[in-house]
Structure 1
Amino acid sequence: MRIISGKYKGRRINPPKNLPVRPTTDMSKEALFNVLNNHFSFEGLKVLDLFAGTGNISYEFASRGSSPITSVDGDFGCVKFIKQTAAEYDFNIAATKSDVFKFLEKNNATFDIIFADPPYALDQATFERIVVLVFEKNSLNQDGMMVIEHSKYTKLDHMIHFSFKKTYGGSIFSFFELPASDNEEDEDLFDEDSEEE
C-alpha cells in the first residue's frame, strides 16, 4: 500500500496479511483523488471513512492535510492497525470499531467527505441503505460529497443526490453531492409549512 500524494507521498505502509480486506488499488485510488482534487482543497476537510479496512483511504486524506478523520470498521484487527499507523505518522485519525450501519444510525456529526468501501458481495439493498442513512441523518455537510466504491453488479444511479460515477477496472465509484441550494430549498418548504399551521 502506497501513499500517492501529500506530506508522505511515496511512503509504503504494510498491513498484516491476515486482515479481512480488499484494499482499493493504487490506480483506482489515484483516479479517485484526482476527481476529488477538482472539487476540494483537502486541508482541514472533515472526513468519514466507512468500512475503512487497512485505513488506505484515511491515510491518503491525512497525508493531504485533511483533519479530523473518522475511520469505522467492524474488525478489531483493522481498527488496531489504523490506530497504530495513525500514531506512527501523527495523523488525526480516530479509528472506531463498530458495525457501520449502527454507527450511521447513532451518528450526529457531519462531514465534508464520506467514503464507503463495503464488501462487493453485499446485496443491492445493503448498498442503498448506506445512502439512505447518510442523508436521513444529515451526515453530509452542504457542498459535501459522498463516494461509494462498488462493483458493476451494484447500481446506485437512482438513489437520492446521486451525481455521477467513474469506472476504473473492476471498480466503480458512485458520487453523491449535497449542494447548499438543496438544504436551502428544504428549509424554505419547512418554513412555509410552519406558517400555514
Structure 2
Amino acid sequence: MRIISGTYKRRKIVAPKNLPVRPTTDMAKESLFNIINNLYYFEDVVALDLFAGTGNISYEFASRGTQNIISVDQNFNCIKFINKTAEMFEMPIQTIKSDVFKFLEKSTIKSDIIFADPPYNFTLEQFTAIPDLVFGNNLLEENGLLIIEHSKHTDLSNLHHYSYSKSYGGNVFSFFETSKT
C-alpha cells in the first residue's frame, strides 16, 4: 500500500503478512480522498478510523495535514503496527484497542469524518449497527460524514441517514449524513 498525496506522498508501507486485514485499494482510496478533499480542509478535520486494520486510511489523513486522528481496532497486532508506523513518520495518530461496537457505545468523541471499513462478510444487522450507534450517540459534528466501505454485494441504501454511494471495482463507499433520515 502507498500514501497517495500530501507530506508522505508515494511512501510505501508494508504491513506484516499475518494481520487479519483487507486494506482499501490505492485506486479506491485515491477516489475517496478526492471526494473528501472537495468537502473539507484536512487541517480542520477530526477523523475517526474504525476497523483501522493497517492504518491505511489514517496515514492518508495524516499525510494531508489532519492533526486529530483516532484509529480503532480490536486486533493488538494491528494497533501495534499503526503505532510503529505513526511513530516512524511522526504522524499524529492516537490508537485505541477496542471492539468497535463497544467503542461506539461508550464514546463521546465527536468527529467530522468517521470512516468504517468492517469485514465485508458482516451481516446487514452488523452494518446497520454502525450508523445506528454513530447517529444515536451523536458522534458526528454538524455537517459530518460517516463513510462505510463494503463490497458491491452489500446494499446499505435503506439505512437511516444514507445519502449516496460510490463504487470502485468491488469496493463501495456508502456516505451517511446527519441531515438524511
Any residues of structure 2 matched to 1:100-179 within 5 Å, and which?
100-179=100-179
Given residue 104 of structure 1, which amino acid in structure 2 is its aligned partner? Answer: L
Query: In the alignment, what sits opposite 1:64?
Result: 64
2-side partners of 1:104 and 1:144: how far apart?
Answer: 16
* Structure 2 contact 105–133 (Cα < 8 Å) conserved: yes
Q: Distance in 2 between matches of 1:68 and 1:38?
A: 19
Tell me how far apart the structure 1 counterparts of residues 138 and 153 of structure 2 sit (CA, whole Å).
27
**2:58 is aligned with what amino acid?**
S
User: What corresponds to 1:35 in structure 2?
Assistant: 35
For 2:83, the equivalent position in structure 1 comes to 83
Moved more, 49-58 or 169-178: 169-178
Q: Could you tell which deviates more after superposition, 170-179 or 135-144?
A: 170-179
Calculate the TM-score normalised by the size of structure 2: 0.97
2:67 partner letter: S
Q: Which residue identity does 1:49 align to in structure 2?
A: D
Q: Show CA shifts across 1:124-146 (max 9, x none).
A: 11000001000000001001111
Provide the C-alpha distance between the structure 2 equivalents of 1:5 and 1:95, rounded to a whole number of angstroms.
22
How far did 1:88 drift? Answer: 0.9
Q: Which runs of 5+ in 1 are unaligned?
A: 183-197
Task: Write out the 4+ residue segments of structure 1 that deviate beyond 6 Å after TM superposition.
Answer: none
- Tell me what 2:10 maps to: 10
Q: CA RMSD in A?
A: 1.0
Alpha-carbon distance, 1:44 to partner: 2.9
Deviations 1:172-194 (A, max 9, x none): 10001225xx8xxxxxxxxxxxx
Bigger drift between 154-163 and 117-126 goes to 154-163
Secondary structure class of the residue paired with 1:129 = helix
Alignment partner, residue 22 of structure 1: 22
Partner amino acid, structure 2, of 1:54: T
Report how far residue 161 of structure 1 moved: 1.5
- SS of aligned partner of 1:43: helix
Deviation per CA, 1:105-134, whole angstroms, max 9, x where unpaired? 000110000000000011111000001000
Larger helix fraction of residues: 1
Q: C-alpha distance in 1, partners of 2:91/2:177?
A: 26
**Counterpart-to-counterpart distance in 2, 1:28 and 1:150:** 12
Change (3 A) 1:44 1:90: farther
State, as a whole percentage, how many aligned pairs show the same letter: 59
- 2:124 is matched by which residue type in structure 1? Q
Q: Which residue identity lines up with residue 84 of structure 1 in the other structure?
A: K
Q: What amino acid is the match of 2:125?
A: A
* Structure 2: tracts of 5 or more residues without a match: none
